[in-house]
Structure 1
Amino acid sequence: MVVNETTEARPPKPTLSESIRDGLVELIVSGELKAGERLIETKIAADFGTSQAPVREALRELEGLGLVESRPRRGRHVLPFVEQTIREAYVVRAALEETATRLAMLNDRLPLDAMRADVEDMHRCAAAADLRAMGLASARFHRRVVVASDNFLLQRAWEGLQIESRTAITLVLTNPALSQVALEHVSLLEVLAAGDVEAACLHTRAHQWAYADLPHDMHGAARTLRFPT
């Protein structure tokens, strides 16, 4: 059940706007940037040693993530960080990826060799303690399944969740052992490669529900939240 697909190269260095976005995310999540605080483009540009153009691009993306709000004649301000929006995104993502897994496996389209290379990359990221690269490798792994579903609307909905950015936020919030993140994908890949569609769909859904971090699992059983309160 392997599709011939060339393995993607290691992710490029982040663009200026991505670096600014990730830096601002950390400041918001950590509370250094308070809810209601005004974000001044010129000041941010000076802090990051760049022009205003990449700052503007980063702020637009943060608006899409619900971390920043633009107010007419008042500029952009930090919104209260609501962890529930992150949890909700993972529940939606679980449904999308479960469907993508079913479609890809029924059509015998999973690019397993490329996904194995992604997992190897995750191990390298864990060894290097590279949080950003781990997030990108994880997103790349899951994107392959979504693309293999060969369903344009499903892929569009998945991309609309801004997976890389939300993954970065989750990694900052939970600060997991990166080696464990890699092992979780090893387990998922083994189930996908085994070829049991129902087992693979169940594991795929459970994989995302674990990161949804709700007070119950997908079966309704009580569980302990990992996100800080």
Structure 2
Amino acid sequence: MTRPTLSQQIRDGLLERIFSGEMTSGERLVETRIAAEFGTSQAPVREALRDLEGLGLVENRPRRGRTVVPFVEQTIREAYLVRAALEETATRLAMLSDSVPFARMEEDVTDMYRSATSGDMRAMGLASTRFHRQIIEASNNSLLRRAWEALQIEARTAIALMVIGPDLEQVADEHRELLDSLRAGDVDAACRHTRDHQWTYADLPHDAYGRPRNVS
């Protein structure tokens, strides 16, 4: 399993502080102070803060420097809706070209179950990101891949897991079902499953077809 870079470790550490409330809205993020806390130089701290800016959790204002901004769950919803469109298209392209990497995706699902057993949320996020990246890569569409990577999927997955706090074994089960739908070979059904998978995490009051959720 690929070890996270130092900047990723710092980014995730700051993410946890933001979501736990340890870091509050408007709090200044001083590179030298953070570097000292993590025992590193300012370069990886600067990279981590840029990532957080891209995620909309930190802003950099003239004469004030970088500060924490209020967390808005809408940003998670928007990212999952865009992901749904990109991954549905990637799924169709990969299946039509018969390039779905089933063996590697199977390994990712195995890693997810291992992560669920150990309760390792970070490892679950990394395995999930790898799983979905397999389909994106298999689409052989460089523009689609760049658009997907621009969403900072790994970091946003980590955020979603922190905020939602799902049952990790259920997350692994969902990816097993998604892989099974790809193996079944029905392109339209697999595309629907891929789209629905992302829309579920968008946590909207309706699904991709306009049907209300949780109606009693």
Q: TM exceeds 0.5? A: yes
Structure 2 residue identity aligned to 1:86: I
Residue 127 of structure 1 deviates from its aligned partner by 1.0
Match of 1:5 in 2: none
Aligned residues of 1:11 and 1:133 also touching (Cα < 8 A): no
Residue identity (%): 69
Cross-structure match for 2:141: 151
Answering whether residue 108 of structure 2 is matched by residue 118 of structure 1, we say yes
* Equivalence for 1:211: 201
Gaps of 5+ in 2: none
Question: Do structure 1's residue 94 and structure 2's residue 84 form an aligned pair?
Answer: yes
Q: CA deviation at 1:30?
A: 2.2
The yes-or-no answer on 1:139 pairing with 2:129 is: yes
Letter of the aligned partner of 1:181 in structure 2? V
Where do residues 1-229 of structure 1 align in structure 2 (5 Å cutoff)? 10-12=1-3, 14-223=4-213
The Cα shift of 1:37 comes to 1.0
Count of residue pairs the alignment pairs up: 214
What whole-Å deviation, never above 9, does each CA across 1:18-45 have from its counterpart, x for those lacking one?
Answer: 1110011111122221111111112212
- Deviating beyond 4 angstroms after TM superposition, the runs of 4 or more aligned structure 1 residues are none
SS in 1 for 2:91: helix
TM-score, L = length of structure 1: 0.91
Instruction: Confirm or deny: 8 A CA contact 1:191 1:200 kept in the other structure.
Output: yes
Q: CA deviation at 1:51?
A: 2.1
Q: Distance in 2 between matches of 1:152 and 1:51?
A: 34
Letter in 2 for 1:80: P
TM-fit CA distance, 1:124: 0.8
Distance in 1 separating the partners of 2:210 and 2:2: 38
Deviation at residue 106 of structure 1 after TM alignment:
0.6
